[in-house]
Structure 1
Amino acid sequence: MPDMSHQKPINIIYTGVAGTGKTYRLLKIAQDYTEYLPKANHEDLLNQLVQSLSWREVICLIFLDFQSNKQDLVKVPEIVNHDFFVAKAAQNARENNLNNTVWSVLQTHSPTHSKTVVSKNRASQAYFDKDDSGAWYLLSESIMLLNDLSQQLAEFQQAQREHHTSQNQRFSQQRFSMVSFHQAYGYEEFVEGIRPVMAPTAHASHAQENNSHVNNRSSQMSYAIQEGAFLKLCQRAANDPKQRYAILIDEINRANVSRVFGELLSLIEPDKRAGMANAMTVNLAYSGRPFSMPANVDIYATMNTQDHSLAPLDMALRRRFRFVDCPPQPELLPVISLSKDLEAGNAAETLDLAKLLMGLNHRITQALGADVQLGHAFLWSVNDLEQLQSALIEQIIPQLAQAAGGQVAVLQYIFKDEQQPLDAQFIQDGQTLVADGSSGLNGQMESYNHDAVRNPLFSGHHSLLSQSMSATSYRINIDLINKTGKFAKSFVYQRLYQ
């Protein structure tokens, strides 16, 4: 396995308008941080499982394994002889004082109110306690903090079961964590925070040998410091310095970045990482323990430049990231053939989606600015005329109408409707329709309502489009909604090319 510990950390934000494949990039990057191992034997699975875990995590994993076999009370010799512990000791070339290692971890992570454990050096978070017989058990409140370990254990156990039936399947380890920022996302979810947990009372602190269940009425709420997604990943990376890890952040500018990162914002610069020339250490806000960001953690994020309702990205973050622009890529879109029945027997008619998108974006840029362009993903799944019509009605026109504030003149310019007859306009002026006795607004709404009843697939959009039609002066042509009339012909869409 190559030593990647000296590779320079990567901090990148992919920017662009909606639909340009930014999130897709994150998913592809995730594959680079996923390791697959053949299911060769039990020893390989063990080594893969415990490789990046600390001694405390290994011992927690052992307790979870015992619990999965209906055993809650565990003696120190059982821990030392467990396969997980033996594998970790072998990886660390440890042969002596293994009992002392277990005792040290158990005592350090015992509660201050324990009546059976005396320790002068206790960690901020307790995981274990001991009963009067000298057997140890996992604290109920700590189980809430071990979701990641529980998942790893479940995957390991599943891999063992599958090993004998399928030698071709692979065991995977994800060395990344993916999160989506939003307006309510904060430091507590990303780094660490105090959260409520349900814990049993002193009379039901652990299950007895007879596996009796604790009644819910015996539980009480308590609070514990829990690690967030980023801190968990960093701890895994610190325990596995020869591999690279990645935090993948979707929509980074949807949250208050300075609040989410907190004091860690000073640590993400490459030269401030652990082991670097200007390495920094800070004390975490809740636990108070010192933290230095590992050099083998990369940060990738996406940012939608179109969302002007969000606060501008903090300039401090701009100094710490490289920004990679992700423009629309119309060249990825296909040329679609129109169905025979819609083209009156002319099966050779086609629509070039790349030209259509380029034409729309050219006029969008002129009228509304480059940040309002449409990404290629809006037409990515379009394979026929009906799908194109649906994309225009349900996604493209509503988005452009919002960006244009419902201004009919702007929308008609984008869709080249100004010189077109009324029945060939994508966007119609509601006031013009009202003034037209034969094609008045009431008549259009009656036709629309009839179509919604006739076409149940479209009826789900009835309320939304009706509200839109009554709230603004622009109207989507009812023939486009019905997918009839001139909008069943290719020339209406081909005029959008230029």
Structure 2
Amino acid sequence: MSNMPDFSVHKPTNMIYKGVAGTGKTYRLLQIAKHYTDYLPKVNNEDLLVQLLQDFSWREVLCLIFLDMHNKKKDLLKVPEIVSHEFFSAKAAQNARDKNLNSTAWLELRRHSPTNSKTVTYKNRSSQAYFDKDHSGAWYLLPESMDFLTELSQQLAEFQQAQRDNNINQEHHFSQQRFSMVSFHQAYGYEEFVEGLRPVMAASSTPQHSQPQMSYAIVDGAFLKLCQRAASDPEQRYALLIDEINRANVSRVFGELLSLIEPDKRDGMANAMTVNLAYSGRAFSVPANVDIYATMNTQDHSLAPLDMALRRRFRFVDCPPQPELLPVISINAGLEPANEAESIDLAKVLMGLNNRITQTLGAEAQLGHAFLWSVYSLAELQTVLIEQIIPQLAQAAGGQVSVLQYILKDEQQPMQAQFIQDSQMLINHDSSNKRDSQNNITAQNPLFVGHGSLLGQPMAAESYNINTDLIAKTGAFIKAIVYQRLYP
């Protein structure tokens, strides 16, 4: 991805990705997070089996098989079952054996049978018996031998747990994260970010007071916790990822840490600084192996402005819309565009809209490519226009019909082909029956009608309608040419 940091550089990085909504800023943070993630190595269960059996004798392997089958509620085993067990097969493979395996099993079973066995005759018995055979020819583990198999049983349990853990890791891709991600908002403060007083419920220490008692304790915030982890692991890099950094009062959130995050003032650097934290009074400095990445939506004029001091401490990276990432779609869902007349180039749609948005509302009102990122059919394009793009433009334009119609190139179009219709002109144009029909359709969903407001936001005195044919996905809006006119 373009504008990604150089992760091979081992010095502190402070970076803010800024741009309009829908330009992939948060996506960049998620991609950066992957570079601060240690994925657990994949281990084959066969490798775990090799590790388990490599130092075991044939007698121990047989005992292991009986213990394993006992856990599966089967205590009587005939030789073919024993030889086909994965433990026996794996041990044979380790010893490069593929012949006379039944004989090997018979020999070990008889060698470790009791002298008073009524079913097994053998001269050179071992001093310790583990197995015996019933009259059906099925072998079993002697109950009294269990006292000698405690360690082996524990090794089997650890192996089976390792297998379960490994299977879970393979399925869920378990990993160790060396990052923390937070989203700033207007109420986010120093207490959540660095440290603050928090209520703590504790059980009463006296029988007379059975209700939990509430007290207050100093609790570490997200950044402080991350720094503590980084300080104890100096060979690895850690990252703080902040989404929408300008939504909070950054001076209040960072507090005395605002100076400490500068690369040259980190712990161990040339101009290292240490401060005493506001609540605990602890001496603290930011580790040099902590990187900070953030996003900033440049459309958010109503929110707290970014502190100029923060601008000096971060590199700013512009994230413009990238229409070149968007596909060409067909008006026939699921089919490749047969020719230009049946296709809609979403890159050209976005470029055309943004050109006219920039002319009328300014560059900071542009649409990001993410608005059209998941569009692969005409129906999806129609839905995005109705539910996202037009409401976004209406809010940016304050509901001014003339501006909306200019952006959507509606001015010279017949009313039936206009994306946005002037409500008054529509009333004058339509017959009363048609007027009533359209009112019934649009009244079903107030999102589609801009009579002085949109989603609770104040609008200009002008009012507009989204074309009911666009809402119904009929009429002129089933043709590619209607959308092609949005091109530059």
- The question of 1:247 aligning with 2:240 is answered yes
Q: Is the 8 A contact 1:230 1:247 kept in 2?
A: yes
**Rounded Cα–Cα distance in structure 1 between residues aligned with 2:164 and 2:440:** 60
Partner of 2:229: 236
Q: 1:179 to 1:161 in 2, by over 3 A?
A: farther
Paired residues of 1:187 and 1:260 also in contact (CA < 8 A): yes
Closer, same or farther: CA 12–165 of 1 in aligned 2, 3 Å: closer
- When residues 380 and 263 of structure 1 are mapped into structure 2, their CA distance, relative to the original with a 3 A threshold, is same
Q: What does residue 464 of structure 1 align with?
A: 447
Equivalence for 2:21: 18
Measure, in 1, the Cα distance between the counterparts of 2:15 and 2:161: 34
1:481 matches 2:471: yes
**Is 2:188 the counterpart of 1:185?**
yes
Q: 2:438 aligns with which of 421, 441, 444?
A: 444
Residue 404 of structure 2: aligned partner:
411
Contact 1:283 1:290 in 2 (8 A): yes
Q: State the Cα deviation string for residues 453-493 of structure 1 (Å, max 9, x = none).
A: xxxxxxxxx14334x34535121111111111101111100
Go from structure 1 to structure 2 and tell me whether the alpha carbon gap of 1:409 and 1:347 turns closer, same or farther (over 3 Å shift). closer
Q: TM-score scaled by structure 2?
A: 0.68
Amino acid at match of 2:41: P
Q: Which of 295, 298, 304 in structure 2 is aligned with 1:305?
A: 298
Post-superposition CA distance 1:412-466 (Å, at most 9, x none): 11011111111111111111112224277544212334xx5xxxxxxxxx14334
Deviation at 1:160, TM superposition (A): 4.8
5 Å-filtered alignment, 1:352-431, equals 352-431=345-424
Alpha-carbon distance in structure 2 between the residues aligned to 1:400 and 1:263:
40
* Cα separation, partners in 2 of 1:437 and 1:330, compared to 1, 3 Å: closer
One-letter amino acid matched to 1:446: N
Q: Flag the 1:340–1:353 CA change in 2: closer, same or farther, 3 A.
A: closer
1:311 deviation in Å?
2.1
Letter in 2 for 1:464: L
**2:390 is paired with a residue of what secondary structure?**
helix
Cα offset for 1:193? Answer: 0.6
Name the CA distance, whole Å, in 2 between partners of 1:441 and 1:9: 64
Secondary structure of residue in 1 paired with 2:40: strand
Separation of aligned partners in 2, 1:159 and 1:495: 63
Given that 2:40 and 2:169 are in contact with CA atoms closer than 8 Å, whether structure 1 keeps it comes out as: no
Quick one: distance in 2 between partners of 1:495 and 1:347? 13
> How much does 1:242 deviate?
0.5
Q: 1:5 to 1:384 in 2, by over 3 A?
A: closer
- Tell me if structure 2 keeps the 8 A contact 1:38–1:168: no
**Do 1:194 and 1:223's aligned partners in 2 also have CA atoms closer than 8 Å?**
yes
In 1, the alpha carbon distance for the partners of 2:183 and 2:269 equals: 29
Whole-angstrom CA distance in 2 between matches of 1:305 and 1:367: 17
The answer to whether the Cα contact below 8 Å between 1:39 and 1:163 also exists between their aligned partners in 2 is: no
Q: CA RMSD in A?
A: 2.8
| Closer/same/farther in 2, CA of residues 164 and 445 from structure 1, 3 Å limit | closer
Amino acid at match of 1:480: L
- The CA distance in 2 between the partners of 1:341 and 1:173, in whole Å, is 40
Percent identical? 72
1:184 partner SS: coil
Aligned residues, how many? 356
1:139-188 CA distance string (max 9 Å, x none): xxxxxxxxxxxxxxxxxxx9856346578576521000000000010001
1:36 & 1:289 partners in 2: Cα distance?
Answer: 34
Q: In structure 1, the residue corresponding to 2:269 is in which secondary structure?
A: coil
Partner of 2:459: none
Q: Distance in 2 between matches of 1:167 and 1:482?
A: 47
1:448, 1:478 within 8 Å by CA — same for their partners in 2?
yes
Larger mean Cα displacement after TM superposition, 302-311 or 243-252:
302-311
Contact 1:272–1:278 (CA<8 Å) still a contact in 2?
yes
Match of 1:27 in 2: 30
Question: Is 1:265 equivalent to 2:258 in the alignment?
Answer: yes
Cα displacement (A) at 1:36: 1.7
Residue 341 of structure 1: how far off its partner (Å): 11
TM-score (structure 1 length as normaliser): 0.67
Q: Give CA deviations for 1:180-205 in whole Å, capped at 9, x if unaligned.
A: 0000100010111101011011137x
Distance in 2 (CA, whole Å) between partners of 1:340 and 1:40 is: 44
Mapped to 2, the partners of 1:159 and 1:196 lie a distance apart of 39
Partner of 1:313: helix, strand, or coil?
A: coil
> Is the Cα contact below 8 Å between 1:336 and 1:384 reproduced in 2?
yes
Q: Does 1:495 align with 2:485?
A: yes
Closer/same/farther in 2, CA of residues 424 and 464 from structure 1, 3 Å limit? closer
Give secondary structure in 1 for the equivalent of 2:281.
coil
8 Å CA contact retained: 2:333, 2:377:
no
Return closer, same or farther for 1:260/1:384 CA change in 2, 3 Å cut-off.
same
Contact 2:227/2:286, CA 8 A, preserved across alignment: yes
Specify the alignment match of 2:82 in structure 1.
none
> Does the C-alpha gap of structure 1 residues 168 and 251 become closer, same or farther in structure 2, counting only changes over 3 Å?
closer
When residues 222 and 298 of structure 1 are mapped into structure 2, their CA distance, relative to the original with a 3 A threshold, is same
The amino acid of 2:417's aligned partner reads A
Offset of residue 393 of structure 1: 0.5
Whole-angstrom CA distance in 1 between matches of 2:339 and 2:438: 30
For 1:270 and 1:341, how far apart are their aligned partners in 2?
52
Rg larger for = 2
Amino acid at match of 1:465: F
| One-letter amino acid matched to 1:316 | A
Q: Which residue of 2 aligns with 1:44?
A: none
Assess if the C-alpha contact under 8 Å between 2:448 and 2:466 holds in 1: no
> d(CA) in 2 for partners of 1:408 and 1:324?
34
Cα pair 1:10 1:299 within 8 Å, conserved: yes
Q: How does 1:115-126 map to 2 (within 5 A)?
A: none
More displaced 10-residue stretch of structure 1: 31-40 or 165-174: 165-174
- Kindly indicate whether the alpha-carbon contact (under 8 Å) linking 1:340 and 1:347 is maintained by their aligned counterparts in 2: no
Letter in 2 for 1:192: E
Report SS of the residue matched to 1:359.
Answer: helix
CA distance in 2 between partners of 1:353 and 1:218 (Å): 63
Query: Unpaired segments of 5 or more residues in structure 1?
Result: 42-157, 205-214, 453-461
**Which one is further off, 473-482 or 246-255?**
473-482
> How far apart in 1 are the matches of 2:344 and 2:376?
10
Equivalent residue letter for 1:196: P
CA distance in 2, matches of 1:430, 1:216: 68
Q: Which residue of 1 aligns with 2:74?
A: none
